[in-house]
Amino acid sequence: MKELRIGLVGTGNIGRTHIERINQRLQGGRVIACADANFDFCKTVAEQYGLDAYQRGEDMISSNDIDAVIVATLDPFHEQYVRAAIQAGKYVFCEKPLAPEAEACKRIVEAEITGGKHLVQVGFMRRYDPGYRQLKGLLASGKYGLPLMLHCAHRNYDAPGFTTPMSVENSMIHEIDVLRWLLNENYATVEVVFPKSTRHAEGDLRDPQIMYLTTESGVRIDVESFVNCRYGYDIKCEIVCEEASLNLPEPPNAMIRTNDSRMTPICHDWSERFIDAYNIELQEWINFCKNGHLTGPNAWDGYVGQVTAKAASKARDTQSVVRIELESMPDFYKK
Ligand SMILES: NC(=O)c1ccc[n+]([C@@H]2O[C@H](COP(=O)([O-])OP(=O)(O)OC[C@H]3O[C@@H](n4cnc5c(N)ncnc54)[C@H](O)[C@@H]3O)[C@@H](O)[C@H]2O)c1
């Protein structure tokens, strides 16, 4: 295959950044068509980037002009387009979450198994961040003993319109996936507690929140979500092992001496902080689609993430420790 011809459904914020990334920076693939429920807007995006515009995502997905699909619509509409791509036998990259409900993720898993081919990748892009990849390599080296505890934080400058459930389901879902991938094991229990709330929290929002996860082997993890920290975007991950503490590196920035002080700028938001991760994620996806072999986060990872997030939401609402009940992994997903 010369160039992977990609159709993208959902021309909103992240959809448009993926079009620009693929068509202007990455190699081997090209977004050639787009679809969106807001067809007028879709047509302006198509005109801007020189794409074919489709009113119905399903028509684009089944078209012979398309080799692979990106789904970047709002969460409740992921399932229908991912299943349409499976039905058409095409690779599909779906932005996280795979679907807002675990049952919908399960239906996607079942459809993929029935189709008999690995076609689905979920946009858990932290796995592609060079810093997290370094941590994964250090853990795998075995030089530092076993991991025992993780201390993590996920802080945003602000988050207009954010609600209490979104801290787990939209923010910490990233930690739920990437920490499971780092440790290579599932979670057993989850609890969510509320520290004192910041005066910057709007309406009923409880901010910050702390999620406590325990893995099946007993590793303890605390993740702080603080979406109104009012100083920038800050992602922390410390893995305390038997013989070392491993720390997620920060993106490099020059240190500035000015006004009798020293300062090193940090990122303002996620799109800046994880730009390398998005580029690597989609470049590898294009390469793997062309080789016919996906290795990224799969539909089962999407299902596990959503079961865990739902258990965390229940733990938050009931202020109790909740067991995470997963079905056993189908042979189809065993490496
Ligand atoms: N990986 C990440 O870090 C990350 C970051 C941001 C967003 N996301 C995910 O990307 C997705 C899109 O987020 P966004 O911020 O771009 O949202 P957005 O609101 O800017 O865009 C969503 C687009 O989907 C379209 N849409 C809605 N319903 C549709 C339907 N039934 N059929 C076709 N199109 C439909 C809307 O018209 C809109 O253009 C979400 O699932 C979000 O969780 C992931």
**Is 61 among the domain residues?**
yes
The string of pLDDT tens digits covering residues 49-78 is 999 999 999 999 999 999 999 999 999 999
Q: Which residue is closest in CA terms to ligand 1's atom 38?
A: 12
Strands, sheet with 29-35, edge to edge from the N-terminal-most edge strand: 52-54, 29-35, 4-9, 68-71, 91-95, 120-123
Q: Is the CB of 264 under 6 A from ligand 1?
A: no
Instruction: Identify whether residues 187 and 203 lie together within a single domain.
Output: yes
Pocket test for ligand 1, best of 56, 95, 267, 280 (most atoms within 8 A of CB): 95
Instruction: Identify whether residues 119 and 242 lie together within a single domain.
Output: no
Q: Is the CB of 58 under 6 A from ligand 1?
A: no
What are the start-end ranges of the E strands in the chain? 4-9, 29-35, 52-54, 68-71, 91-95, 120-123, 147-155, 187-193, 209-215, 220-226, 234-241, 245-247, 256-258, 261-263, 322-323
The string of pLDDT tens digits covering residues 150-184 is 999 999 999 999 999 999 999 999 999 999 999 99
Instruction: Identify whether residues 172 and 230 lie together within a single domain.
Output: yes
Using only C-alpha atoms, the chain has a radius of gyration, in whole angstroms, of: 20
What are the start-end ranges of the E strands in 156-307? 187-193, 209-215, 220-226, 234-241, 245-247, 256-258, 261-263
Domain count, the chain: 2
**Domain-terminating residue out of 96, 123, 150:** 123
Q: Which domain holds residue 157?
A: 130-268+305-323
Ligand 1 center to 232 CA (angstroms): 23
- Residues 152-191 as b/e (b if ≥16 CB within 10 A, e otherwise) read bbbbbbebeebebebbbbbbbbbbbbbbbbbbeeebbebb
The domain spanning residue 11 has which CATH number? 3.40.50.720
Distance CA 62, CA 68 (A): 10
Q: What tokens does 177 get?
A: 């996936």
pLDDT of residue 287: 97
Distance CA 178, CA 335 (A): 18
Pocket test for ligand 1, best of 17, 54, 73 (most atoms within 8 A of CB): 73
Q: What tokens does 290 get?
A: 């062309």
**Is 285 among the domain residues?**
no
pLDDT of residue 153: 98
Does position 335 have pLDDT exceeding 80, yes or no?
A: no
Give the amino acid at 37: A
Instruction: Identify whether residues 203 and 156 lie together within a single domain.
Output: yes
